Chain A
Amino acid sequence: MNPALHARIARRKEVIARVKKILVESLYVPLPPDAIDLDVALFGSGLGLDSVDALELVVATESTFGVTFPEDVLRHGLRTVNSLVDLVVALQDEKAAA
């Protein structure tokens, strides 16, 4: 396998693990990390997060990864674990490129 792709997959896995840790430890999602489906909705009937949790999810993720989310992230970027992870990876890439 292409080493760059390999590294990218490894990095994505690490981001997933840390996002799950945030969900369990800071947002009290009542599931073991392994049981958190990457494509389930973060809010509402999915993982059950609500408006109180929304800001914490942003702040905790920003602090953990040293990134800053764009203003409209609450409306568009935080649907599922996967979309959150994509956003973090993209922001890290931007930061590295800058």
Chain B
Amino acid sequence: MSRAATAVITGMGAVASIGVGLDAFWRGIAAGKTGIGASLRFSTEAYAVRLGASLDPTALPPGLLDSAPDPDHDHAIDPCAAIAILAAREAVERSGITAAALRPDRLAIVMGTSAGGLHARSAYEFTDPRDRGRRHRLLDRSGFHVQTAAVADALGLDGPRLTISTACASSTHALAHARDLLRADLADAVIVGGVDLLIEETFAGFHAMGAISAAPCAPFSLPVGMSVGEGAGFVVLERLDDTARRGREPLAAVLGAGSSSDGHHPTAPDPTGLGIARALRSALDDAGVTPAEIGYFNAHGTGTEANDLAEWRALQRVFGVGVDALPVSSTKSYLGHTLGAAGILEIIATVLAMRRGLLPPTLGFTASRGHGPIDLIAAVAPRPAVARYALKSSSAFGGANAAVVLAVDAREIPAITASIRASDVVILGASAIAAHGFEGLDAALRRGAPLWKSIAATDALVPLPPVAARVPELPLARLVRGVDPRGMDTITRFLTAAAALALADAGLVVRGPLRDRVGLYAGAGRLPWDSADAFWDSIRARGFGRLSAPAFSRIVMNAAAGAAARTLSLLGPTSLFAGGPLGGLQAILAAADRLAHHADADALVAGAADELGRGMLADHAFSHPDAGREGLPFPLYGADHQAPVRGEGAACVVLARAGSPLGGAKRPVARVAGSGLSGPRGLATAIRIALQSAEISPGDVDAIHGSADGLVASGRAEIDALRAVFGDALRAIPLANPASVLGACDSLSALTTVAAIEVLRSGRAHPIVGATPHPDLDFTASTPRPVRTVLIIAADPAAGSAALVLTAP
């Protein structure tokens, strides 16, 4: 299913330092007022420079920013989600969409955030380790997708939920994914935006890097340096034909979107500008717009020398001699760097200005750096000028770049922008790293013996040594030629290994020009444990003012994906799905959709990685002390007993358009036949959409791969949805779930996908050995017919639901 109507913005909402609410926000832009100042919500005495762009608490509902992420109250809302709700609600109200007119399950949310769960995670880190209950609840709340869920619940959105965390490019990436959801017809309106709070961890991290300017940041001007900010911005994105039916005039259109990986450095952009240029070209190509037609460039423009110079070089590459006449500015001189909210707030400022025949300026220009935009809009008020199209760029830690092309004039908004006819997408290879090691997944799952065991307690407070399924020692240097695992954190080693082995399985050698044409979409459940431990350990040992900058650079959600992209030269499109346990499957679905409708990549590696960090082990030993111990009922799909066993690992697949000529690649191992996404209550809906888009009926499914994690509610959610779709026929279809052997982990939805591909290769289903018999389910893999069609499912109470249908090639 595909609907090519142009994606348009019909409502916007903003919460920023310069103003809360769209009107105040615009008044701030028009008045040339900067939000950067000295009043932050934490003491800045320990720091040499003390500026930031904080929200004005008097402009917000009382107490909104003070509310601690109180885990003792189930409905207490993290301030991060609270400001996102304000902005999202304003966008919805201004768009005029109403729940009455649209089905709630057709309202999706895509939220970008760089540090959405960090506020709760910080509270966890500074809670006495003996207070196990509070620590457990705070850890639950630190999931980035939990913030998205709070916004979705507050607004009554029951459709698909994506949480995008490509650090400072998050909300620009989010806008691209929102557009893809509309085209895939998985929603009728998408509430898309970004949010981040200015918390001390973030400020101290940038401070330790020496990146913060002593004056309010003035991108492309002297002095160099950034200012950190906070805020939330949301827009409502709809299809143009739907808004026409509603009799609404769109505010702007998103005509094209692109992304890329620098493959250069954990924090510094590729100084040649090649990485950013790839994202810009990809967005322009996607929009069918030439550089000469761009009338305004809204820069990422952080103010640091590294960013601004790389961005200028990228512009020179893309625009050639035309760059001299290109008006450029950075809205960060108003807002500071609002991280996950930066892209969307800057897009909102751009749209507000362009609709008035204006272009927003860069404030605070004092002196040229000797290089940089020729036509920098250095002023204290917007410049009267009409831009036909605007190009917006965002760049991030991990080397992620994203760009979008915007238009505001109705005459420049075509009815249809999707230029690529939907193509079939195939899977060329797959690989998984987990308790079984790095090879022999199929044999381990077929044997069915659980691979968890008692492991040494890492924490004096844990009563019994926990039982868990760990990844054995990984000979990464031997597995992947040219890879040096030393210096990598655990999650980076896992993801790099799984991605490299999947590419090897596909027979794909990524070198030469192919490097720009292969990308990486990754899912992640939590912050990387190793590096997060190093980060907060450095704060506990030395104080915020002297925390570890290298560790700070590694705690962004996309750090491992950025490092894997660098190591394996995957320089094409990239994104990071912080969907908790759903992230891996969301990444795979989005990658398939991207390949089907866009020409900017020939292949995408997609999957997820996670690790059993010391905090995770301690928490699990506390919550489920008897999990995995002998003599207890089997952990999966039980009716009353729950004792989920934790595992860890990474799983990746290599996707490509069917028939696309990829040097050396082997024959496909599977075909992506259909997929569906929905909200937390919508697993049955997601399955029906997936079957429908695969043009098959429930009776055509030969095997099902679940990803329930051992909690009773999680197993029941899968069983209820399957029963609703398959009825009595369900008991004749084998159900498998690799958690029965490998334990449950945040990568499980990707692991179960790779396991399903193994089943398609052999034609024989996997069993769940040792499961308590269930009247509606077949754990014995006893189907007489060869498996040619597999349904893969995943659901989470916060992240929503996903389903994927794969068939033999």
Contact = CB atoms under 8 A, between A and B. Distances in A.
B209 A63 contact: no
Interface string A59-74: 1100100000000000
A52 B486 contact: no
A59 B486 contact: no
A37 to B, nearest CB: 15
B546 to A, nearest CB: 5
B487 A30 contact: yes
Given A52-B209, A52-B267, A28 B484 contact: no
A50 B269 CA distance: 13
Given A59-B542, A63-B541, A63-B542, A53 B487 contact: no
B737 interface: no
B534 A26 contact: yes
Interface string B417-443: 000000000000000000000000000
Nearest to B211: A52
Contact of B549 (A29, A30, A32, A53): A53
- Give the size range of A's interface with the partner: 10 to 19
B669 interface: no
Contacts of A24: 486-487
Contacts of B541: 63
Given A50-B268, A59-B542, A30 B486 contact: yes
Given A50-B268, A52-B267, A59 B487 contact: no
B542 A52 contact: no
A40 interface: no
A52 B549 contact: yes
Contact of B210 (A26, A28, A51): A51
A10 to B, nearest CB: 26
Contact of B550 (A26, A31, A32, A63): A26
Contacts of B546: 59, 63
Contact of B548 (A32, A51, A59): A59
Contacts of B267: 52
Given A50-B268, A55-B210, A28 B550 contact: yes
A56 interface: yes
A27 interface: yes
Contacts, number: 51
Contacts of A50: 265, 268
Chain A contact residues: helix, strand, loop or mixed: helix
Contacts of A31: 486
Contacts of B534: 26
Contacts of A52: 209-210, 266-268, 549-550, 553
B564 interface: no
B208 interface: yes
Contacts of B210: 51-52, 54-55
Contacts of A28: 487-488, 550
Contacts of A63: 541-542, 546
Interface string A3-47: 000000000000000000000101111111000000000000000
A31 to B, nearest CB: 6
Nearest to A35: B486
Contact of A56 (B208, B484, B487, B488): B208
Contact of B484 (A27, A30, A59): A30
Contacts of B268: 50, 52
Contacts of A54: 210
A30 B550 CA distance: 14
Given A53-B549, A53-B550, A32 B486 contact: yes
A59 B549 CA distance: 10
Interface in B548-582: 548-551, 553
A94 to B, nearest CB: 21
Contacts of A29: 486-487
Contacts of A59: 208, 542, 546, 548
Most buried by A among B484, B534, B541, B549: B549
A31 B534 CA distance: 19
Contacts of B208: 55-56, 59
Contacts of A55: 208-210, 549
B450 to A, nearest CB: 34
Contacts of B553: 52
Contacts of A53: 549-550
Interface in B464-522: 484-488
A51 B211 CA distance: 10
A32 B265 CA distance: 22
B24 to A, nearest CB: 36
Nearest to B531: A28
A53 B484 CA distance: 19
Interface in B263-281: 265-268
A30 B209 CA distance: 21
Nearest to B552: A52
Nearest to A31: B486
Interface in B522-550: 534, 538, 541-542, 546, 548-550
Contacts of B486: 24, 29-32
20 contacts: A24-B487, A26-B534, A26-B538, A26-B551, A30-B487, A31-B486, A50-B265, A50-B268, A52-B209, A52-B266, A52-B267, A52-B553, A54-B210, A55-B210, A55-B549, A56-B208, A59-B208, A59-B546, A63-B542, A63-B546
Given A26-B550, A29-B486, A59-B546, 12 more contacts: A24-B486, A30-B487, A30-B488, A31-B486, A52-B210, A52-B553, A53-B550, A54-B210, A56-B549, A59-B208, A63-B542, A63-B546
The 6 closest A-B pairs by CB, nearest first: A30-B487, A30-B486, A28-B487, A59-B546, A52-B549, A56-B549
